[in-house]
């Protein structure tokens, strides 16, 4: 049986319907291929005790979950033998910016100036590069100078502001299934206004493919998306990674690719072969 876990609305800021649509599209594709599936919300995952009985362990779990309790439940299913897509360790890495920034610095070969601080006061005392981006696990703020820093609690990540346009990409495995330039018209929260949305700078698609492969290898993600800044000269800088995005611009293609991945995992488990 293939278990599909939907994302809590808490984590689907501005994307509730789109997040639901991608997981439902994957379920439909799997059912069309003859697989038995079950769809459950992450809020009800922990209370579904039958899933944690050894005889009922799902072969593969496709999960959009992010809540701490849900991730612990997924770890238990993995211990019982389920293949989890995306792995719990990868999701924890991406949903927490104070951890994700280490990956971004590594992938960008330390070209992205970034730091993590315990408080805004510490940020004001130690960060000197403005304008910049101040980020929590759920929000990002463009800060022009030290006096404009928002009042926030807990760990915060600060990254330098890089001039250029934004490109959003979507990937399954190590392959891109879709990408687009982000403009004011298709930006969710208006942050694009601080980037160059009037230009679509050219870049080498092979470099983006290589970047996606590196993200998959270093994070363990199989279903993911992200944002890169493209400079006027075509240099790519990775600024964000998202576990299991909504794939709004390429949902049908993504659903087929994800189903292919599941089919491959099932064939390996049953026959020891990919096909």
Q: pLDDT for 162-217, tens place per residue?
A: 989 999 999 999 999 999 999 865 555 455 557 766 789 999 999 999 999 999 99
Q: Going by DSSP bridges, is the β-strand pair 175-182/165-172 parallel, antiparallel, or unpaired?
A: antiparallel
Q: Do 177 and 57 lie in a common domain?
A: no
CA 125 to chain centre: 31
Q: Do 119 and 59 lie in a common domain?
A: no
Q: Do 179 and 217 lie in a common domain?
A: yes
Residue 179 dihedral angles phi and psi, to the nearest 5°:
-155, 160
Q: Do 152 and 175 lie in a common domain?
A: no
Angle, CA 170 vertex, CA 168 and CA 176 arms, to 5°: 115
Q: Do 104 and 189 lie in a common domain?
A: yes
Is the pLDDT at 135 greater than 50, yes or no? yes
Q: Do 155 and 51 lie in a common domain?
A: no
- pLDDT, greater one: 100 or 269: 100
Is the pLDDT at 227 greater than 90, yes or no? yes
For residue 272, the model assigns a pLDDT of 62
> Rounded to a whole number, what is the distance in angstroms from the first to the last CA of the chain?
19
Domain encompassing residue 77:
2-86
Q: Are 259 and 29 in contact (CB under 8 A)?
A: yes
Q: Do 122 and 238 lie in a common domain?
A: no
For residue 84, the model assigns a pLDDT of 96
Q: Do 19 and 58 lie in a common domain?
A: yes
255 domain residue, yes or no: no
For residue 189, the model assigns a pLDDT of 46
- Report the phi/psi class of residue 190: left, alpha or beta, with left for phi > 0 and alpha for psi in -120 to 50: left
Number of independent structural domains in the chain = 3
Q: Do 9 and 136 lie in a common domain?
A: no
């Amino acid at each position: 049986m293939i278990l599909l876990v939907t994302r809590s609305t808490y984590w689907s800021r501005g994307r509730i319907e789109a997040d639901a649509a991608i997981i439902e599209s994957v379920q439909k594709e799997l059912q069309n291929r003859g697989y038995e599936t079950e769809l459950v919300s992450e809020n009800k995952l922990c209370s579904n005790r039958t899933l944690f009985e050894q005889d009922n362990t799902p072969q593969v779990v496709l999960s959009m979950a992010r809540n701490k309790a849900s991730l612990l439940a997924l770890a238990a299913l993995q211990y019982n033998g389920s293949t989890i897509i995306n792995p719990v360790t990868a999701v924890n890495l991406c949903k927490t910016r104070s951890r994700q920034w280490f990956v971004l610095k590594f992938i960008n070969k330390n070209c992205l100036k970034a730091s993590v601080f315990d408080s805004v006061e510490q940020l004001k005392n130690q960060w000197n590069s403005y304008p910049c981006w101040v980020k929590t696990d759920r929000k990002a703020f463009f800060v022009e100078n030290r006096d404009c820093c928002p009042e926030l609690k807990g760990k915060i990540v600060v990254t330098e502001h890089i001039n250029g346009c934004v490109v959003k990409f979507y990937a399954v495995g190590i392959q891109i299934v879709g990408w687009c330039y982000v403009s004011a018209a298709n930006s969710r929260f208006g942050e694009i206004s601080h980037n160059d949305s009037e230009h679509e700078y050219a870049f080498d698609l092979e470099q983006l493919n290589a970047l996606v492969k590196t993200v998959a290898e270093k994070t363990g993600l199989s279903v993911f998306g992200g944002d890169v800044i493209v400079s006027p000269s075509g240099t790519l800088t990775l600024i964000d990674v998202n576990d299991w995005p909504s794939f709004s611009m390429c949902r049908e293609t993504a659903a087929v690719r994800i189903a292919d991945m599941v089919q491959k995992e099932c064939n390996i488990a049953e026959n020891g072969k990919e096909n």
